[in-house]
Amino acid sequence: NAGVTQTPKFRVLKTGQSMTLLCAQDMNHEYMYWYRQDPGMGLRLIHYSVGEGTTAKGEVPDGYNVSRLKKQNFLLGLESAAPSQTSVYFCASSYRQGFGELFFGEGSRLTVL
């Protein structure tokens, strides 16, 4: 039972470098989300997708891009990393209906120096 898998789990970047976080789910969920978690801020939505080939902006989308080329995968990209993007990133997926429980990955800790 893999559920939602995020790679990598940890990454250190220098300012200006680029990277991609991969989220994979094996539950055939339509909806997928990327959140970031910062101390005292709870979780904030970066981008989300309501199905293969679709993406939409969330609360804090600036500096990030996403793609959903396959239903099971949702990629989060940082084109030019900034120290403000140091955070823990969580991917989640949910049922088609959209009111279902969100299933979260284990998180990816990103540090930008």
Give me the residues that bind other proteins (CB under 8 A), please: 31, 33, 35, 40-45, 48, 50, 56, 58, 88, 90, 92, 94-95, 97-104, 106-107
CB of 52 to other proteins, least distance (A): 15
CB of 84 to other proteins, least distance (A): 18
CB of 66 to other proteins, least distance (A): 14
Side by side, the strands of the sheet bearing 73-78 are 4-7, 19-25, 73-78, 65-67
Q: Toward other proteins, which CB reaches closer, 6 or 85?
A: 6
Q: Toward other proteins, which CB reaches closer, 73 or 109?
A: 109
